Structure formats: structure tokens, C-alpha cells
Amino acid sequence: MITSLPTIEETLVYPKNDALELDEQWSFVRNKKNKKWRWFAKSRVTKQIVAYFVGNRNQESCENFKNRFPEKYKDIFTFSDLWESYSNVFTENHISAPKGSGETCHIENFNNIIRQRLARYKRKTIAFSKSDYWHDLITRLFIIQYNLL
């Protein structure tokens, strides 16, 4: 296990009056039947990824995702698409907005960036993660680099 990497929290800048945009993105490990969903939270002010989680696309994964938020982001306003799990888990200070409303444009842009830069996350690819460990590690490495640039 790589232990010399900073944590996501160590890469963050904490501005005042921030809000988070939330979204999830499909990928797979080993074969397309082994679906993995990457959940991301992006700061509207700093444009940094403040939390992520790799799991299923269900309410339990959404709760695990929320539990990964740094303490300073626990009670902040959040914006997401209309996926039901968000409304069930983020009950206070949360706005669910339809696609095209512009409320999640920054996190949707991040989804495009990660797909363009990492071949294993493209929709049609021959590059893929062979284990959950590597899938999570590559995601974490990318976010740390993204936050520090």
C-alpha cells in the first residue's frame, strides 16, 4: 500500500461560502458486468474534489460517500442531479436539479476531464482496472494531482 501520498483532505483549500456539486460516474473493474460507480463532490469555489467514493449506485454507497466529506464540508449546501439517493441522504441544505439547469456543470466537467485523461474510465475502452484496489488507487492519485494543480 502506498502510504507517502497526501490525503485528499490535505490537498484542500477551505474558502468561505462554498457549496458542493455531487455526481456519480459509471466504470467497471475486470469486466463490464462488475460495475463500479465513482461518487464525487466538487467545490464550486476552489474547483477541487473534496470527497470521492467507489462503490455501487445505491443509497448505502451514497451514505458512505457523504461520510467521507471533511468535517468543514459536513453542513454545506449541496447540488446534485435528480438521482433519488441524493435526496434521501442529503436531506438538509440540498438542491436536486434536472440536467441542463447548470447547477452541476462543474462536476459534469470534471467527469469529462477524468474520462479524457484516464483511458480506463472511457466508455468504450480496452484499458481497465484489474482489481478494486488499483481502481480506487488510480482514482485517488488522479484527484490528488487534480487538486494540487
Per-residue model confidence (pLDDT) at position 72: 92
Residue 1: inside a domain: no
Per-residue model confidence (pLDDT) at position 12: 94
Give φ, ψ of 34 to 5 degrees.
-95, 70
Q: What is the 3-state secondary structure (H, E, C) of the chain?
A: CCCCCCCCHHHCCCCCCCEEEEEEEEEEECEEEEEEEEEEEEECCCCCEEEEEEECCCHHHHHHHHHCCCHHHCCCEEEECCCHHHHHHCCCCEEECCCCCCCCHHHHHHHHHHHHHCHHHCCCCCCCECCHHHHHHHHHHHHHHHHHC
Residue 4: inside a domain: no
Residue 26: inside a domain: yes
Residue 3: inside a domain: no
Q: How does pLDDT run across 98-134, given as a tens digit for each residue?
A: 988 999 999 999 988 988 888 777 666 666 777 888 8
Per-residue model confidence (pLDDT) at position 9: 93
Give me the CATH number covering residue 117: 3.30.420.10
Per-residue b/e over 57-74, b at no fewer than 16 CB within 10 Å? eeeebbebbbeebbeebe
Per-residue model confidence (pLDDT) at position 97: 93
Residue 89: inside a domain: yes
Residue 58: inside a domain: yes
Per-residue model confidence (pLDDT) at position 3: 63
Per-residue model confidence (pLDDT) at position 45: 96
Range of the domain at 118: 9-148
Rg (CA), the chain: 15
Per-residue model confidence (pLDDT) at position 126: 65
Per-residue model confidence (pLDDT) at position 124: 66
Q: How does pLDDT run across 45-101, given as a tens digit for each residue?
A: 999 999 999 999 999 999 999 999 999 998 899 999 999 999 999 988 999 999 889
Q: What is the pTM of this model?
A: 0.89
Mean pLDDT in residue range 1-22: 87
Residue 108: inside a domain: yes
Residue 82: inside a domain: yes
pLDDT at 1 over 60: no
Counting beta carbons within 10 angstroms of the beta carbon of residue 7, is it exposed (0 to 12), middle (13 to 18) or buried (19 or more)?
exposed
Per-residue model confidence (pLDDT) at position 123: 64
**Domain count across the chain:** 1
